[in-house]
């Protein structure tokens, strides 16, 4: 075991996979000589060479299209978007081509698209989005949102060996802020299995990504008042661990769904609807949902703080659940 930051765990996973499987290669804007916008692949081109760590033109369409073609030929490309926001330029290649190729011709498309996402650093509306729900709606894509260094390494290894296109959302605010113990050997974390980040029996908080840590801080605050909330980290949205969510609702009878993405059409709505359809009779309070408002992400630090769900917002919602 070694202590790693979130970004070190991602870099370590890429290095391990490239050493063990010559089919794995990286491509993206500045991933080679520069080492990536956030330095995830720093030194990779020196170790693996320019044909396995490829600096591409500034064209997300070309990056995803090239990755899809390489996957069709038996390779396992890992494409980096400098920011998750830029994936919109590659929507057609990803959604119309990569996601549907297996349905169209029975051909696996084992590509991973790494997507640095999320706010917390005043990046504004073009560098701070959490667009996971847009892609969770597309059959053929898998959506992964790790919250810890351990899960980041294990889920990235699982993503690379998966035969489907995988969107790997890395929250930028976690890159150098979160540390944890990570096995130095290769391992995988399976898709579709939530992790109990914090135990509790009075309410279940269903969340993912950076909001796992916001939820945990809020739950720890409420624990001082004797209210113990479970923090359930989904880890993957497609597939998502419906069984574990419903079990938490049945056991606790109160649930809060929390995410940083905007509210309308966010993946939290899918979770809330499923709870209402399948375990409504177990609820002792309406399902609560906390998300960002339906606006672009502000540049201004105070406005961005108001936009992103904060610990105080979660504490307030938990108190309301406790008193219901």
- Which has the closest alpha carbon to 148: 189, 113, 96? 189
User: pLDDT tens-digit profile of 260-296?
Assistant: 999 999 999 999 999 999 999 999 999 999 999 999 9
Answer for the pair 68, 93: CB distance below 8 angstroms, yes or no: yes
Active site residue 137: no
Domains defined for the chain, CATH in brackets: 2-182 (3.40.50.970), 195-323 (3.40.50.920)
Q: Which pLDDT does position 258 carry in this prediction? A: 98
Q: Which pLDDT does position 180 carry in this prediction? A: 97
Instruction: Using CA atoms of 276, 278, 281, 286 in order, give the dihedral in degrees to the nearest 10.
Output: -20
- Which has the closest alpha carbon to 303: 124, 164, 60? 124
- Eight-state DSSP code of residue 33: S
Instruction: Tell me how far CA of residue 189 lies from CA of 16, 152, 183, 248, in angstroms.
Output: 15, 9, 12, 21
Q: Which pLDDT does position 212 carry in this prediction? A: 98
List, in sequence order, every residue forming a beta bridge with 150; answer none if it has no partner. Answer: none
List, in sequence order, every residue forming a beta bridge with 182; answer none if it has no partner. Answer: 2
Q: What mean pLDDT do residues 137-150 have?
A: 98
Within 10 angstroms of residue 281's Cβ, the number of other Cβ atoms is: 6
Q: Which pLDDT does position 204 carry in this prediction? A: 98
The one catalytic residue in 127, 173, 197, 213 is 127
- Going by pLDDT thresholds of 50, 70 and 90, the confidence category of residue 214 is very high
Q: Which pLDDT does position 243 carry in this prediction? A: 98
Q: What mean pLDDT do residues 228-238 have?
A: 98
- Going by pLDDT thresholds of 50, 70 and 90, the confidence category of residue 319 is very high
Q: Which residue has the tokens 């999320």?
A: 118
What three-state secondary structure class fits 124?
coil
Q: Which pLDDT does position 323 carry in this prediction? A: 94
304 vs 292: CA distance, rounded Å? 10
- In this structure, are strands 142-144 and 166-171 parallel, antiparallel, or unpaired? parallel
- In this structure, are strands 24-28 and 195-198 parallel, antiparallel, or unpaired? unpaired
Across the chain, mean pLDDT equals 97
Whether this prediction's pTM lies above 0.95 is answered by yes
């Amino acid at each position: 075991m070694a202590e790693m930051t979130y970004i070190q765990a991602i870099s370590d996973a890429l290095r391990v996979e490239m050493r063990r499987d010559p089919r794995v290669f990286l491509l993206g804007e500045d991933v080679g000589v520069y080492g990536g916008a956030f330095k995830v692949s720093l030194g990779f081109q020196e170790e693996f060479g320019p044909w396995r760590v490829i600096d591409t033109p500034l064209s997300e369409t070309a990056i995803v299209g090239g990755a899809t073609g390489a996957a069709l030929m038996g390779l396992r490309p890992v494409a980096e978007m400098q920011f998750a926001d830029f994936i919109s330029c590659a929507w057609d290649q990803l959604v119309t081509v990569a996601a549907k190729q297996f349905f169209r011709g029975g051909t696996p498309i084992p590509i991973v698209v790494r997507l640095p996402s999320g706010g917390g650093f005043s990046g504004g509306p073009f560098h701070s989005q959490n667009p996971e729900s847009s892609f969770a709606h597309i059959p053929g894509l898998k959506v992964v949102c790790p919250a810890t260094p351990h899960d980041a390494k294990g889920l990235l290894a699982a993503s690379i060996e998966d035969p489907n296109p995988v969107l790997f959302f890395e929250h930028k605010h976690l890159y150098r802020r979160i540390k944890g113990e990570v096995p130095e050997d290769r391992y995988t974390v399976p898709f579709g299995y939530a992790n109990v980040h914090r135990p509790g029996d009075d309410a279940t908080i269903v969340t993912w990504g950076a909001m796992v840590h916001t939820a945990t801080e809020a739950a720890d605050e409420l624990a001082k008042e004797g209210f113990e909330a479970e923090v359930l980290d989904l880890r993957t949205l497609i597939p998502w661990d419906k069984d574990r969510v419903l079990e938490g609702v049945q056991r606790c009878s109160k649930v809060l769904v929390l995410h940083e993405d905007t509210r309308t059409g966010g993946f939290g709505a899918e979770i809330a609807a499923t709870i209402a359809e399948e375990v409504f009779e177990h609820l002792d309070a309406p399902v609560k949902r906390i998300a960002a408002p339906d606006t672009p992400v502000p540049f201004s630090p105070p406005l961005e703080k108001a936009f992103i769900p904060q610990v105080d917002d979660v504490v307030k919602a938990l108190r309301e659940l406790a008193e219901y």
